[in-house]
């Protein structure tokens, strides 16, 4: 199949494909563009798709925003355009899913820490201590055992103290298994990156979380702004120190 000869033909073909893949009608695209300040109607979309109307740069940028794809997807040449668009869309979904997981796990960690602190438990060498006598006196043995099991992420032990599993237990259990797998894999990547780059594991974890370094089968790749990983780490440490000082001042 011959590639479209003109930019307008490429744009129209890629836009038509993108709309079809996302099941977006011409009317829906026109309404979305109108909401973004463009005087678009269904007839406008039809004219663009049939190359009877040129698309301005600002319009092209907003079309890409509506479709949630890079604008280059709309001007790509050749039959690879659809495959590339699909691949990049999958990457975007994976990134969004990862952010969602990190947010959920962060909330779980904060809730776990709050529960442990409420019980008077102390974190040492990555493990929570047993509750002190005061907590044992204030709560029943069953309540203490249930709370400690939750803090230690022993979900099955925690469920044993309930008359029946709570709603969402299966999903939570599966999520914890995924979390453990990702955490183990992340720890391995942290160790690999630290050794390869000659940095501390804390710095490696910080850089991995920010997407500044990547670990793959061929080695460790850095993507620091300006190409200077050391400078980026220094800025991040400084920013972290300022944040902790601010927290301490507020607490004071």
pLDDT tens, position by position, 39-98: 999 999 999 999 999 999 899 999 998 988 888 778 876 555 556 666 766 777 777 777
Inside any domain, residue 142 = no
> What is the predicted pLDDT for the residue at 165?
54
Residue 134 has pLDDT above 50, yes or no: yes
pLDDT of residue 25: 92
Q: Does 240 score more than 80 pLDDT? A: no
User: Hey, what are 213's tokens?
Assistant: 């370094």
- Residue 107 falls inside a structural domain: no
* Domain boundary pick from 41, 63, 92: 92
**Residue range 181-232, pLDDT digits in tens:** 666 677 788 888 888 888 888 888 888 777 778 777 778 888 777 778 888 8
Q: What is the CATH number of the domain that holds 66?
A: 1.10.260.40
Q: Among 74, 92, 110, where does a domain finish?
A: 92
Q: Is residue 241 part of a domain?
A: yes
Q: Which of 35, 60, 92 is the last residue of a domain?
A: 92
Q: What are phi and psi of 119, to 5 degrees?
A: -85, -5
Position 200 in a domain: yes
How many angstroms from the chain centroid is the CA of residue 177?
18
- The residue among 176 and 87 whose pLDDT is bigger is 87
Identify the domain containing residue 189 by its residue range: 168-252
pLDDT of residue 243: 43
| pLDDT given for residue 85 in this prediction | 62
- With respect to residue 114, please indicate whether it lies within any of the assigned structural domains: no
- At residue 59, the pLDDT reads 92
For residue range 94-107, list pLDDT tens digits in order: 777 777 777 777 77
Q: How many domains does the chain contain in total?
A: 2
- Decide which of 96 and 242 is more confident: 96
Better-predicted residue by pLDDT, 163 or 22? 22
Q: What pLDDT is attached to residue 220?
A: 84
Residue 135 lies in a domain: no
Average pLDDT over the chain reads 76
Predicted pLDDT of residue 234: 86
Q: Is residue 158 part of a domain?
A: no
In a domain, 85, yes or no: yes
């Amino acid at each position: 199949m011959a590639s479209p000869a003109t930019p307008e033909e490429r744009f129209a073909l890629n836009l038509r494909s993108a709309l079809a893949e996302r099941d977006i009608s011409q009317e829906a695209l026109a309404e979305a563009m109108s909401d973004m300040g463009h005087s678009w109607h269904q007839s406008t979309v039809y004219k663009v798709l049939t190359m009877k109307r040129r698309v301005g740069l600002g319009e092209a940028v907003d079309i890409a925003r509506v479709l949630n794809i890079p604008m280059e997807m709309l001007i790509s040449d050749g039959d690879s355009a659809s495959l590339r668009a699909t691949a990049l869309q999958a990457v975007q979904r994976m990134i969004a899913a990862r952010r969602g997981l990190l947010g959920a796990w962060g909330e779980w960690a904060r809730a776990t820490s709050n529960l442990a602190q409420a019980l008077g438990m102390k974190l040492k060498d990555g493990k929570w201590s047993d509750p002190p006598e005061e907590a044992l006196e204030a709560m029943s043995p069953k309540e203490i055992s249930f709370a400690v099991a939750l803090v230690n992420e022993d979900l099955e032990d925690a469920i044993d103290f309930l008359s029946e599993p709570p709603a969402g237990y299966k999903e939570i259990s599966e999520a914890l298994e995924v979390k453990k797998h990702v955490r183990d894999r992340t720890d391995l990547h942290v160790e690999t990156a630290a050794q390869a780059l000659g940095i501390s594991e804390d710095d490696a974890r910080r850089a991995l979380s920010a997407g500044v370094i990547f670990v793959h089968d061929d080695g460790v790749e850095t993507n620091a702004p300006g190409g200077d990983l050391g400078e980026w780490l220094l800025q991040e440490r400084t920013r972290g120190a300022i944040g902790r000082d601010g927290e301490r001042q507020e607490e004071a």
